Amino acid sequence: MLKNRGVAALSVVIVTTLCAVSRADLLGYWPLEETSGAVATNLVPGGTNGVLVGTGVTWMNDAARGQVLSFGTSGITNYVDAGILPPIGDTTDFTWSFWAYHQDAANSDVILGNRYDPGAKTGSQWIKFTPTKFECNAGPQLNMDYADIPQNQWIHHAVVKRGSDRSFTYYRNGVAVMTTNITLTGTATGRPFYMGGDKFAEWWLGRLDEVAIWSDALPASSIAGLAEGTLTPLTAPRYPVGVFDLADAVGGGNGTLPGTGGPGNLTTAMDVYTTFPNNPFVDGVFAPNTNDVPCIIDGAGHTYDFNAHNNAGNPQTWCNGLNMDTDPSVAGGLLPDFNGDPDNHSLLSGHASKGITFDLEAVRAKTGLHIEKFTATIGDSRPKINGSISYFVFVDGVLVTNRFNIRDSEDVVTVTEAATGRYLSIAITDANDDTICDHGYLGDPFLHLTLTPPPPPPPPPPPTGTVFLLL
């Protein structure tokens, strides 16, 4: 299958390290489709171009893959210098993906990675993919001893490291064939990223195509798409299709289930739209107003007047997980799943009054996916006691759904406007009756992620009215 050449028109800025990129997740993508010269272009803006070293590294046209890079002379200095890898430690993620055509007997030559320090033939740390195994020596040494790569056939390879469960998974032609879990006691820093051999030894004989590395652990679906040719490194999602958990995002997590975030506790003050620069998914929080001055509800400066629906206006916090006097999964029989099945359910909760805005564009950029809709179960978590709440949901400052004076009930909310919007704002007020027991919640506040982009907006209707023709 020939590679997709539609990406060649992207502009490239040459810098000296892989880390200096404008998009931190995809660190490098080298299609290896040049026909001449000593530079392998990196299509990631700000990424490091590869520099060809040695007379045996040449461009060639392959019958199966089109233009590729050939390492055609065994045992002499031939490699590509593609910059420096980011630090690799116990909790870091990464993905390596590439096509390789192995032309030698089984050996320990470096197809990708490094064996020695960049300045000398020394060093106790290395990270390399070879014809017989993947090795990561950052204390203790990991050896993923997969079946030897057969000769004279194009094979897609990928290695995915997940810091969350300390796993390394090797994929061959899109299929996971080996997973190893190991706790790294050290951190590999300053390691060079070479193609086709190390600077000092272990020069490989074969051909390379479509080399890419990420600082993310790509899902299995993306690896399969890269191997099938339905995805490229520029289009491969970094998250699986499914849901993005906004409760986990409030706690500083990555939106996965089960979540990686903490409790959250995002606090603001009256008349202040508070931002959190360290949280990429939360645009800001606000306290619904109790006066005739509308409050700002998102980063674009949109406002809304909650005065008729809010009595106290206390700036309460948003919290990931249960933070209530009475657990709604027990009281009144509400929400049994949210607390009983934490791997598949989540809860965003707190006392009225409060508002929060999510940056949907940040979710799209991080996941590499489109948003189909937002869904949640919104309700009063103190049924049959006292108090009530009202809720409001906005997209880009436009109120799309709301309900007043909820008590002892809940709503299942679906917001399709999130598919094309930038800011999703949610507010809970005390319903302007009292401030006692006004506990609100969002059960399973999910963005539904999809590979399919939203349909374009319909064309404007034709003008109506009487037309006068002047002669």
Phi, psi of 104 (to 5 degrees): -135, 170
- Residue 366 near residue 216 (C-beta atoms within 8 A): no
- Residues 195 and 208: their CA atoms lie apart, in Å, by 8
Strand partners, 62: 66
pLDDT score, position 11 = 29
Q: Which CATH code for domain 243-450?
A: 2.60.120.1060
Q: Would the CA dihedral through 39, 156, 77, 59 be positive or negative?
A: negative
103 within 8 A of 151, measured Cβ to Cβ: yes
Task: Give the largest CA-CA distance in the chain.
Answer: 90
Domain limits of the chain?
26-237, 243-450
What is the Cα 470 distance to its own chain's centre? 59
Q: Identical fold at 26-237 and 243-450?
A: yes
274: Cβ contacts below 8 Å, ≥ 6 apart: 266, 267, 268, 284, 285, 286
Which pLDDT score is estimated for 382? Answer: 62
Show Cβ contacts of residue 25 under 8 Å, excluding neighbours closer than 6 positions. Answer: 214, 215, 216, 238, 366, 368
Amino acid sitting at position 291: N
Model pTM above 0.85: no
pLDDT in tens, the chain (471 residues): 445 443 333 322 223 334 333 334 899 999 999 999 999 999 999 999 999 999 999 999 999 999 999 998 767 899 999 999 999 999 999 999 999 999 998 898 999 999 998 888 987 899 999 999 999 998 888 999 999 999 999 999 999 999 988 999 999 999 999 999 999 999 999 999 999 999 999 999 999 999 999 999 999 999 999 999 999 999 999 898 999 999 889 988 889 887 778 877 788 888 899 999 999 999 999 999 888 889 999 999 999 999 988 887 667 777 776 544 344 444 444 555 555 566 677 888 877 888 999 999 999 999 999 999 999 988 876 655 667 889 999 999 999 999 998 876 778 899 999 999 999 999 999 888 766 677 788 888 999 999 888 888 778 777 776 656 666
Residue by residue, DSSP assigns 198-236 as: -SSS----EEEEEEEEESS---HHHHHHHHHTS--TTT-
Give φ, ψ of 365 to 5 degrees.
-65, -40
Rounded distance, CA 161 to CA 260, Å?
17
Distances (CA, A) of 445 to 72, 199, 417: 55, 50, 15
Q: Are 198 and 114 in contact (CB under 8 A)?
A: yes
Q: Is the backbone peptide bond immediately before 353 cis, with ω within 30 degrees of 0?
A: yes
The amino acid at 133: K
- CB atoms < 10 A from the CB of 11, how many? 6
| Chain centre to alpha carbon of residue 206 | 33
- Is the distance from CB of 252 to CB of 281 less than 8 angstroms? no
Q: Token digits for 209?
A: 């195509």
- Facing residues of 394 across strands? 399, 425
CATH number of 26-237: 2.60.120.200
Q: Which SS3 state, helix, strand or coil, does residue 122 take?
A: coil
User: Cα–Cα distance between 233 and 414 in angstroms, integer?
Assistant: 32
